[in-house]
Amino acid sequence: MPRSIRQYLDGRRMLAPTLVVLFICSLLPLSWLAWAGWVGGLTRTLIAPIMNSAAAFAHAVRPPVGHEPSTELVDKLKADAATALFMLTQEQQENERLRRMIADLQRGVELAPDPSLKLVGATVIGRDADLSRLVLHVRAGAAQGVVTGSVAVVDGAQLLGRVQSVGPRVSSVRLITDTGAGRLRGLVMVDEAPASGGSGGNGSGGVECDLEPASGGVLRGRLAAPELRAGETQPEVKVGQLVRLNDATWPRNALMLELGTVEKVEQNPDQPIRKIITVRPRFDLSRASEVFLRIAGDSEADGVRGGGGP
């Protein structure tokens, strides 16, 4: 008889006794089978080196799925996180800008509580080709109700200039710091906080001044000699004090808008009593990107709608 057949028959003869032994062991108490654990531990000790070698080989041939993400996935996750952080920061800055704009607009309206006053927002789309002139072109015109002479402001209460020409949808604004804009009558608010914290009121006193545009985007001029009563002293003008428009040649809705803050106080060599001050707007007006046009009601319209502007 071939050996393989003999081995097969011997295996089948051992199957029945093995099953009987296993059945009997399953009925015995666990305390009687302690010897089986010792045999199992011995077996694990003998085959442990082989199992460790096999596991190391398997890991080397095929690393576990998901154990280490690919470089491409890591780079994509980092890029997505950076984009989300950028968008969040951008939205937070935009919200803060809108909150400041609302507060400034409210302060600007308080200066001229005219129910007929309309504010029109406009984007600056360019400036005059002649660089010696400070004229901005804004995207708002007769179609939005803009008229010649309308007052332009930035940040709610900072006076920017006045509309000099109006087209159907584009208007030109001459800045107050342009050398051709002419003289302004201002009022130094000696008892009012600077523009960053001003409440919009007139304070309890002020010193008038005549200002003209000067180089460097500032206004410069002489202080007026105040009329003092007996026992009164002249208010002291200091650096940092707020200066507002107090000029009857401008529309009523522009009065008390901010011209800037006092940057310098100098002695007038010709008239020592009347000092010379330099006033600087809150920022470079020629770099404004968004403006608001204060359009008065019919009772205060100073210009003609739809003039021959750009």
Residue 158: what pLDDT? 93
Q: What pLDDT band is residue 41 in, cutting at 50, 70 and 90? A: low
Q: What pLDDT band is residue 77 in, cutting at 50, 70 and 90? A: confident
Question: Is the confidence at residue 195, as pLDDT, over 60?
Answer: no
pLDDT above 70 covers what percent of the chain?
62
- CA dist., res. 233 & res. 231, Å (int): 7
Residue 175 lies in a domain: yes
Residue 90 lies in a domain: no
Question: Is the confidence at residue 218, as pLDDT, over 90?
Answer: yes
Tens-place pLDDT, residues 55-69: 665 665 565 555 566
Residue 12 lies in a domain: no
Residue 55 lies in a domain: no
Average pLDDT over residues 182-211: 71
pTM to 2 decimal places: 0.61
Residue 79 lies in a domain: no
Structure tokens, 30 = 């666990």
Closest CA to 259 of 172, 146, 181: 181
pLDDT above 90 covers what percent of the chain?
34
Structure tokens, 229 = 């009563």
- CA dist., res. 258 & res. 282, Å (int): 9
Total count of domains within the chain: 1
Residue 55: what pLDDT? 63
Residue 170 lies in a domain: yes
CATH number at residue 191: 2.40.10.340
- CA dist., res. 235 & res. 198, Å (int): 19
> Residue 128 contacts by C-beta under 8 Å, 6 or more apart in sequence?
134, 135, 136, 137, 172
Residue 36 lies in a domain: no
Average pLDDT over residues 240-244: 94
Residue 145 lies in a domain: yes
| Host domain of residue 195 | 99-226+237-300
Question: Is the confidence at residue 220, as pLDDT, over 90?
Answer: yes
